[in-house]
Amino acid sequence: MNIYDFTVTDNKGNAVSLGIFAGKVLLIVNTATACGFTPQYEGLQRLYDAYHERGFEILDFPCNQFGRQAPGADEEIEQFCTLKYHTTFPRFAKINVNGAKADPLYTYLKSRQKGAVTPNIKWNFTKFLVARDGNVAARFGPAEKPDTLAK
């Protein structure tokens, strides 16, 4: 099993097989629009602009589990990110990343790359790097700025 075996829901309610991203490098991020880390959207977009043509995708999963910092419906989140940060990478439906209702994708990601103390996601803007073969290669905490991930 790898990342391409999962199906997620996009921000318009459509089922999306992650198999469409096979052969690409992925950065999967749980995000929030009202968080101290929200300005990381700028760095994420810079990464996307720099590497998208070479087979790099950022998959944005809004999550309201941390301090209710992702309020609003999926459409409102899309508008905020597009208008304020000019993001163009794929955004998906709001999900849970921890607990009994955690999205299966995040349960899988956490099982492959645990955090420093616990497998649970600590906060918004935790990032998972997925290699072209669909295996989870690395996990980065919220304080790790997108610009430092280019290497």
- Write out the catalytic residue numbers: 35
Task: Give the C-alpha separation, 57 to 47, whole Å.
Answer: 9
Residue 22, C-beta contacts closer than 8 angstroms, at least 6 positions apart: 4, 134
Main-chain phi, psi angles of 142, to 5 degrees: -60, -35
Site of tokens 């990110």: 81
